[in-house]
Structure 1
Amino acid sequence: MEFTMGGQLEVRMTAADVGKRVSVRRAVDAPGEGAKFSDTVGVLTSWDAGVLSVTTRRGESVRIAESSLLAGKVVPPAPARRRGPAASFGELVLVAARAWQPVESESLGEWRLRASSGFTRRANSVLPLGDPGLPLGEALGRVRRWYGERGLPAYVQTATGAEGTQELLCSSLEDHGWRREVTADLRIAALAPVGDLDVDTAAVRVSRTADEAWLSRYQRFETPGPHVLKVLGSGPSVWFASVPGDDPAGTPAAIGRCVVDGRWAGFMAVEVGPEYRRRGLATAVMAALARTALDEGASAAWLQVETDNEGAGALYERMGFATHHSYHHFRPA
């Protein structure tokens, strides 16, 4: 990270640069160890009363005292990815939303309020696609009442880390007392290499419906009511995969779900029973679903993985998936 001009560190940004991507160096206290500094890259989301706020790619809000600034400048957007399909945030956010369609939805300006009796935050959160048509505080009050009437916690889903994402909204939510509760990455890859994985898929069964056996492996709900089946079955073209296990009750060893939407194939609900892990079953499920999606004309793949799920993250990285952006669910503190 280089800030020098003629050998001198400079602050070459102002409060007028709020909303732009910046690179900042600040002094930090380190008693007895000499002068120390820290670097931050992200979107400048506020500069007020002598304090700057920078939201990083992962959605972390870093507050910086103006008096501690050593250098700072506006920098270009993050470099475009060098591998995998080209994709914009605007395209991906809609593709992902169509893969988890809610039971109930209502518009608030350009925001979508989504509810599905609490099954998955992706179908029980606000999807902000623009202006809510109200001052933010008033809009958030409407959101809390709408979810409260349904006995649900209020969540707003936001994104950071790509061109056109919502760092300013994240900062504003924090200013209104909302806090990040969950962060995940949306990763993308070329689809053909996933389908070409050298793995035996003969045992993988692919069908259009999630039967009782499939649901018995998918432990993301207490009772698989009609709202669960409606959300799981939503999407332009939905496929379910399972690998039979040796459980007398018929619970599969592994399962997965894929939603084909134009050129995109979204992978989700890939789960392997603890007693069947390290046998390549997750890879087999992914490959079988990818081959099905390729047959439908898809060419690109996406999936979502929580940032603290290191095992799944490593598996998907080996398959060629790279992070496009991060997304977050904010909830009132």
Structure 2
Amino acid sequence: MVLRGILAGAALAVVGSFGVSVTAVPANAAEIIDGPKVNWNFAVWGKRRAFTEGMEYAAEQVKERTGGKFTITMGYGSFSKPKETLDGVKLGATQGAMFCNFYHPGKNPAFMVFTLPFLPLGDPDVRIRVTRKLYEHPALVADMDRWNAMTYVSTILPQYEFFGRGKEPHKPEDFAGMRVRAGGGIGSAMEKLGATLSTVPATEVYTTLERGTVDAASFPYTYAHVAYKLHEIADWFTGNLSPGTSECPAVFNKDAYAALPQQYKDLLMGMRDEIYAVQKKAYADIDAKNLPMLREKLTEITYTEEQRADFQEKAGKVVWDEWVKDNPKLPGQELIDLILSEAKASM
């Protein structure tokens, strides 16, 4: 599906996250990296999918470029439960893991800034720039220090969108009275617009939407909606509302990383642009497949910049302000301002 299986004697050009061309080195080339045998266990959940393609690529390339000396074993559910991956990293049970901030807000309070609604993080390149900058902030570093972890790359989870039946939401007021399945900052935003929230598990969304228990549901766009088959029963979907997202990074155990020889550290850090390029392509490939089908079956609702600004004013900033107030121990406003400034600088 994505960039893998490098041919002998050929170099593969990859467009990095800022349009920079980077090169993946063939495994049997003279530049093969020598070093000791090292195997890392990396915790993730579910099954291989677009969400995991970036780290799958990292694991493949680490093995290729070291001639099998350095390997990363991707453990889908075999190392840690989804809400316990940071615990596994802290204990040293795994050398790396993915985690999602919304699974455990108390474990990563500063990371919850990424879950606030209507932040300007819809463009993946903007998201990458912002994420890299935020990862360096002392508050987010402190979040990871508690788990003896360090951030590596983001999975740049796509913006959530809504799939629904019946009444179409063309303006903020249209969500009033709707019953929506949405969590985190998006859920808070919908409440500000007068919607009633449902916390039904993802696996039950299809049934509740079909029966009319909920009118609309939000998932990462478009792969999760199709994975849960909401397109089979929905009437409409929002194509560019971009109400919010979540942050699900790949992290390493700090001691495990420190113990690596320098050439392995350089290899890992030097391929991050490639990983982001692969991650972006994985989501883009899914959208390229899904969107024509969705547009044929359903009504796509799109919004102008002015309309999105209206949503942000009525259901975004008010939630940001409340989050800052409710988390006095965090530099909340500083983090929000940093996201806004970095996003603006990259546009």
Fold equivalence (TM over 0.5): no
Give the structure with the larger helix fraction.
2
Relative contact order (C-alpha < 8 Å, sep 6+): which is higher? 2
For the superposition of Structure 1 and Structure 2, which TM-score range results when normalised by the shorter chain?
under 0.3
Larger Rg over CA atoms: 1
* TM-score using structure 1 length: 0.28
**Bigger share in strand:** 1
